[in-house]
Amino acid sequence: MNKPENPNNVITNAAIVGPTFIKPKVKYNFTATCPVGTPWTVDSRYPIRMIVDPDNPRKVSIEWLRAISGQFELTYNGYTKTIVVESLF
């Protein structure tokens, strides 16, 4: 079985550090390496819990709350990273 291709380019992966492929109902941490800027955003239609670190606004934890696969975009300060939610199995 081939590993899925990463949909993000090298610049995006350097600007937003964290996994591209995640599992449902597991918390993942992301860190922006770019300067502090516009806040983290995710479209509110997605089943996501997002908690920004109050001591460091460049850090955020994300959790996909449903047991289904999907994908969403995580944005910080003009950089957008596509996150792919893989099946639990």
Q: Residue 2: what pLDDT? A: 66
Q: Residues 6 or more apart from 36 whose CB is under 8 A from it?
A: 57, 58, 77
Question: Is it the case that residue 56 has pLDDT exceeding 90?
Answer: yes
| DSSP letter string, 40-89 | PB--TTS-EEEEE-TT-TTEEEEEE-SSS-EEEEEEETTEEEEEEE----
Task: Band the pLDDT of 87: cuts 50, 70, 90.
Answer: confident
- Can you give the pTM of this predicted structure? 0.91
Q: Residue 75: what pLDDT? A: 97
What's the mean pLDDT in 15-19? 97
* Residue 60 backbone phi and psi in degrees, to 5: -145, 150
- Tell me the domains of the chain and their CATH numbers: 10-85 (2.60.40.10)
What's the mean pLDDT in 60-65? 97
